[in-house]
Amino acid sequence: MTHSLVSAATLLGLCACGMVGIGLYGLIVRPDALRKLLSFNILGSGVFLLFGVIGRRGAAAGLEGDPVPQAIVITGIVVAFSATALAATLLVKISDAENALPDAGREEDEA
Amino acid sequence: MSEPFALLLTVLVLLTAGWIVTVRERRAAVLGFIAYGLLLALVWIRLAAVDVALTEAAIGGGATGVLLLRVAARLGDLRPMSAQPGRMLKWLAGLVCAGVSLALMALVLALPDPAPSLAGAAMEPLARTGLGNPVTAVLLAYRALDTFLEIIVLLLALIGVWSLGPDRFWGGRPAAWYEGTPSSALTFLARVLPPFGIVIAGYLFWIGADEPGGKFQASTLLAAMWLLTMMAGLVAAPRTGSPALRGALAFGPLVFLVVGLAGIGWGEGFLAYPDRFAKPLILLIEAALAVSIVAALALMVAGPAERNTP
């Protein structure tokens, strides 16, 4: 492993720390629920990236990175998507309830 | 590709993240998030984690992006979850978050050298699985239980999404993407792209045993092609109550479970494969899982049932 590779990984590690901070800030400061969801995803991706950087530093045995964190991050990305889909659908439900859909009557007729 | 590229990526990622958090328009934030997902995919490539990069581009950018665009278009005025913070509170929050970032940065700079690594442990039994890609080996051989639970999480989330639809439409179809006729450009793309998408997905699936790629990336691509044809109105979204769909969703976890339980019979334990059949069994599980993942991803993006049309 050359020195330049290490420092690029470290740089992206610092980037991940910044992502965590920005995501946390959006989560606290923005009152809009969709923005909180996006912020939470930014926070999460920062954590994933941090894990990835640690995996990259673990390059050994002829590999360019430790495969175990990579596999766990792939699982994490899919689980994060599932949670985001559930939360986003919940937002639609809340929005529909709060705004008493103009076409709610039409749906009632169909049923 | 060395530090200048990493530096450029760092600046772009942080700027995009800042844009998503601060921009006024919801739609702009969602579009920013798609760009952010693609930038992150580049970051993962820079970290030599191509498997993760493919997943991030497909799921983090693509699937999440489409889902959020659909949701942002549907959302009316939401009651704010909290009061608009004053200037004082914003500064305080900024300070706290900067503190968190700085503390994490200090930890990154203090990481031990040489770094602890499981790379050796992952490579050593690789030949026994017949696989060439250690990431696939971790996902489906060494840590197969994680992957099994992951598909269960995917299904639970889908059940959660479905249960948020109105009761009277349970088992019906998700809402149509458009009220009117979709644009001719979209219809054209939805006719032209799927054949290519299917071929590329098949390639990604097959190559995943030895090279970066695999069932998640391939499944997401197939789900995207299916969604594209749904958006263009070429095919209707499936009835969420249809037995074929429910069967496809349950197929992957069931095959996984049966192979896993058979591992106990072989004397090795749950989810252990006999050496001679490891690769065929892993491919069987991956193929079965791919069926379920395509259906689960596409239907999560399509949303709960909201109409009863047969």
Q: Does A91 touch chain B (CB under 8 A)?
A: yes
DSSP string, A49-87: HHHHHHHHHT--TT-SS-HHHHHHHHHHHHHHHHHHHHH
* pLDDT band, very low/low/confident/very high, at B97 (cuts 50, 70, 90): very high
Confidence of residue B144 (pLDDT cuts 50, 70, 90): confident
pLDDT at B261 exceeding the cut of 80: yes
3-state SS class at B152: helix
Cβ–Cβ < 8 Å for B161, A86: yes
Cβ contact A20–B108 (<8 Å): no
Task: Give contacts of A89 with chain B, Cβ < 8 Å.
Answer: 71, 160-161, 164, 303-304
Contact A21 B100 (CB under 8 A): yes
Q: In this predicted structure, which of A75-79, B105-109, B125-129, B246-250 has the lowest mean pLDDT?
A: B125-129
Q: What is the pLDDT of residue B309?
A: 72
Per residue in B171-199, pLDDT tens? 888 887 776 777 888 888 889 899 999 99
Residue B306: enclosing H or E segment and its boundaries?
A: strand B305-307
Interface contact flag, B26 A78, Cβ < 8 Å: no
Q: Under an 8 A CB cutoff, do B7 and A11 touch? A: yes
| A71 to B139: CB separation less than 8 angstroms, yes or no | yes
pLDDT tops 80 at residue B2: no
pLDDT at residue B14, rounded to an integer: 95
Handedness of CA B291, B294, B298, B303 (dihedral sign): positive
Residue with tokens 């699936």: B205
**Closest Cβ opposite residue B21 in set A25, A55, A99:** A25
How far is Cα B183 from Cα B286, in angstroms, rounded to an integer? 36
Percent of chain B with pLDDT over 90: 32
Tens-digit pLDDT string for chain A (111 aa): 444 445 788 899 999 999 999 999 999 998 888 999 999 999 999 999 999 998 888 777 677 788 888 889 999 999 999 999 999 999 988 888 887 655 544 444 443
Assign domain A3-103 to a CATH class. Answer: mainly alpha
Q: What is the pLDDT of residue B280?
A: 85
Q: What percentage of chain B has pLDDT greater than the value 70?
A: 98
At B267-305, the pLDDT tens digits run 677 777 877 778 888 888 889 999 999 999 999 998 888
Question: pLDDT digits over B50-76, tens only?
Answer: 889 988 988 888 889 889 988 888 887
Domain ranges of chain A: 3-103
B255 and chain A: CB distance < 8 Å anywhere? Answer: no
The per-residue pLDDT for A103 is: 52
Q: Are B153 and A79 in contact (CB under 8 A)?
A: yes
User: What is the pLDDT, as a whole number, of residue B267?
Assistant: 67
- Counted residue by residue, chain A has a size of 111
